[in-house]
Amino acid sequence: MSTSISQHFSPWSLLKFAFPSIIMMMFMSLYTIVDGIFISRFIGSNALSSLNIVYPVASVVIAIGTMLATGGNAVISRYLGEGKQQLAKECLSLFTLAGFLLSLLTSILAHLFPDFISRALGANDLLLADCRTYLTVLMTFAPACMLQTLFQSYLVTAGAPHLGLFLTMIAGVINAGMDYALIVYCNLGIAGAALATGLGQMVPALAGLVFFLNQKHTLHLTRFTMHTKELIQACYNGSSEMVNQLSNAVITFLFNIILMRLAGPNGVAAITILLYGQFLFNAFYLGFSIGISPIAGYQYGARNRKELKSIYRISFLFVSISSVIIAFAAVYLSTSIVTIFTDDPGTYALAVTGFGIFAYNFLFSGFNIASSGFFTALSNGKVSAIISFCRTLLFTVISLLVLPQFFGVNGAWLAIPVAEFVTLLLCIGMHRKYFYVEGKQNYFH
């Protein structure tokens, strides 16, 4: 297992190693997107708005899982690089159990207080019933969502990224098939969409559990004593990725409130479509970060500075070139992307205009996501958290509160691109300090 992440990586072999994680994350983002397409096409714009209103609750589960997955991976891969395999296995077991228990608690709370949560997130009388239904059904599968999020990262460190990819693809196919069966054929409405997502999540969750329970694998679940230091370190290291995911919930909430005021339900439906586009394109770079993270963490733990520097250069050259390609592809395809989701004239007009502006954020977001992920892999949770907090929350909230005051609805579409650009400037400063300026803080010296 450790051989696969300790080898020398050329540009091609590094991208090949990260590719399963990229596809895996994009398929995971498609879960919600596929739900959105079926809901919008076969149930209506109000149901699509209801999904977007309560989805921040699911984002909380994903945020916690991403924190324990990425932060935990940094701990696990570092111990593997140091030759401490038993400690790595115990940490894997601890992080998995902690995530499962937290997701179970979240599921219980969602079932106990569905109306209160829906109202607090902005549901009105018209949308409350759909919000309640989608929330309770989806959160029934919160533990499966958590385990899927954890295992998709841990399988990479365990040297089985292709298994993670296969499981996620199968889950995506099941999700899409069940969406059609439950929404169109069985006429279960928004409950069918939530049920389809949950059933899709069960596949990688259960299969991943079987994999890590098999003691023939070098990295597997085992009995453990409480490692409080490592758990705190994993949470600290992964806090930036958690902030990234958790901020999605806050930003979605703010977008819903502002767009409801500026453009009504059509505005909420339009921003839902734009955020789906962001989920998909940003998932590409989140997957890339997950793919290279155990490699960078291993070389950092093994103190192989030359190989670490090579990984850094290959990674950010790839990110810079692909960001330009993806951004202009998104702008060019904006009309086609919106057409997939809706034929409602009001929503369509808003979404097409918005996506043409919104898509320019992809010029900057890939570099920002990869930067945060790379610092996480180096166990520098502080810098990683600063980047993520500024990118996904601070700069975005400021832009979202200020720009619509001057530019109306177009100001809302501009908020994300402006926040990503300002974050890019912050990232450049961090790169200069930790990778280019000589001194103790430089990871290559």
Residue-wise pLDDT for 147-188, tens only, equals 988 888 788 777 777 787 788 788 888 888 898 899 888 888
Residue-wise pLDDT for 224-262, tens only, equals 777 787 788 778 777 766 776 777 778 888 888 888 788
Domain that holds residue 376: 2-436
445 in a structural domain? no
DSSP per position, 96-108: HHHHHHHHHHHHH
441 in a structural domain? no
pLDDT surpasses 90 at 90: no
CA R_g for the chain? 21
442 in a structural domain? no
444 in a structural domain? no
Tokens (6 digits) for 51:
């999904």
422 in a structural domain? yes
Q: Which of 251, 305, 337 is nearest to 37 (CA)?
A: 337
Burial (CB count within 10 angstroms: exposed 0-12, middle 13-18, buried 19+), residue 109 = middle
CA 322/CA 420 separation, integer angstroms: 16
205 in a structural domain? yes
173 in a structural domain? yes
Residues ≥6 apart with Cβ < 8 Å to 52: 252, 256, 268, 269, 271, 272, 275
CA 271/CA 259 separation, integer angstroms: 8
Tokens (6 digits) for 234:
């994993």
Whether 434 and 383 have beta carbons less than 8 Å apart is answered as yes
Beta carbons within 10 angstroms of residue 232's beta carbon:
11
Beta carbons within 10 angstroms of residue 430's beta carbon:
18
Provide mean pLDDT across the span 120-133.
Answer: 84
pLDDT surpasses 80 at 439: no
Main-chain dihedrals φ then ψ at residue 149, nearest 5 degrees? -65, -40
Tokens (6 digits) for 243:
């902030």
Tokens (6 digits) for 438:
């000589």
Whether 158 and 145 have beta carbons less than 8 Å apart is answered as no
Range scoring the smallest mean pLDDT among 237-241, 375-379, 421-425: 237-241
Residue-wise pLDDT for 266-278, tens only, equals 887 888 888 888 8
CA 291/CA 22 separation, integer angstroms: 7
Tokens (6 digits) for 90:
């115990």
Whether 110 and 120 have beta carbons less than 8 Å apart is answered as no
In the chain, the number of structural domains is: 1
443 in a structural domain? no
